[in-house]
């Protein structure tokens, strides 16, 4: 039975239960699950929306609220960084990444590495599950690689609204006053305590 996948999703959201929706639609739960997987392929874009109610996740096409009031865990499970740049990093960044990888004597627990290489995708996962994303300055890009105004700052705004944090290593991203349109910046963004740990290490003399 080829049901309208959007109709299936709307009923699950309205009823708050996969089993109730399946019963109402006259379809088995496994079949309904397959329909929802089809929806995931059909609606392959998502919008994170910041409004007066916090951070919400809506799906393009129907704008159905799927994740109300997203809150970033204070401590994350994942760290995301391109470790192939290790030899180009300053010692402080190397120490931060090593701590996220292996732990640091009780100050921070070891995390799992997850790096897609897509800024938005990595931050999306870390926002939902908890984690920290790093795109530090290096020997080739001493001012950082990401653009402040249209990459780092918008994502920092969303993540902070969800209870996370974002820094360039010394300053909150949203406190940086831009001096040029395409200004670049290092970025450490994600779970609040993980970002605070990185900032503390980088601030040590």
pLDDT digits (tens, 9 = 90+) for 114-124: 999 889 899 99
Residue with tokens 């009031």: 69
Over residues 109-153, the pLDDT tens digits come to 999 999 998 898 999 999 989 999 999 999 999 999 999 999 999
For residue 7 the two structure tokens come to 């109709």
107 pLDDT more than 80: yes
The alpha carbon of 176 is separated from its chain's Cα centroid by a whole number of angstroms, namely 21
Q: What pLDDT score was predicted for residue 166?
A: 98
Phi and psi for 78 in degrees, rounded to 5?
Answer: -120, 155
Kindly list the domain boundaries of the chain, sorted by start residue: 5-67, 78-203
> Do β-strands 54-59 and 46-51 pair in parallel, antiparallel, or remain unpaired?
antiparallel
**Helix/strand/coil (H, E, C) string of 105-171?**
CCCCCCCEECCCCCHHHHHHHHHHHCEEEEECCCCCCCCCCEEHHHHHHHHHHHHHHCCCEEECCCC
Question: Domain spanning 5-67: which CATH class is it, in words?
Answer: mainly alpha
CATH number corresponding to 78-203: 3.40.190.80
Q: What pLDDT score was predicted for residue 1?
A: 38
What Rg value do the Cα atoms of the chain yield, rounded?
A: 20
What is d(CA 55, CA 113) in angstroms, rounded to the nearest whole number?
25
For residue 139 the two structure tokens come to 């020997």
- List Cα–Cα distances, 79 to 20, 23, 156, 161, in angstroms: 38, 41, 17, 20
Q: Give 80's strand partners.
A: 133
Reported residue count of the chain is 205
Q: What is the pTM of this model?
A: 0.72
């Amino acid at each position: 039975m080829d049901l309208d996948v959007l109709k299936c999703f709307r009923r699950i959201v309205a009823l708050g239960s996969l089993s109730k929706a399946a019963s109402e639609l006259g379809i088995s739960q496994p079949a309904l699950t397959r329909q929802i997987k089809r929806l995931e392929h059909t609606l392959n874009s998502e919008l994170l929306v910041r409004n007066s109610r916090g951070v919400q996740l809506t799906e393009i096409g129907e704008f159905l609220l799927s994740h109300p009031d997203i809150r970033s865990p204070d401590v994350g499970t994942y760290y995301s960084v391109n470790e192939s740049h290790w030899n180009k990093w300053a010692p402080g960044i190397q120490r931060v990444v090593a701590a996220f990888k292996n732990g640091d004597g009780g100050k921070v627990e070891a995390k799992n590495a997850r790096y897609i290489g897509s800024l938005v995708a990595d931050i999306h996962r870390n926002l939902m599950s908890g984690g920290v994303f790093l795109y530090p300055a290096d020997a080739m890009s001493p001012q950082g690689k990401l653009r402040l105004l249209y990459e780092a700052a918008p994502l920092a705004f969303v993540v902070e609204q969800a209870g996370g944090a974002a820094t360039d290593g010394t300053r909150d991203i949203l406190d940086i006053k831009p001096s040029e349109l395409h200004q670049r910046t290092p970025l450490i963004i994600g779970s609040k305590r993980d970002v605070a740990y990185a900032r503390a290490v980088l601030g040590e003399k």
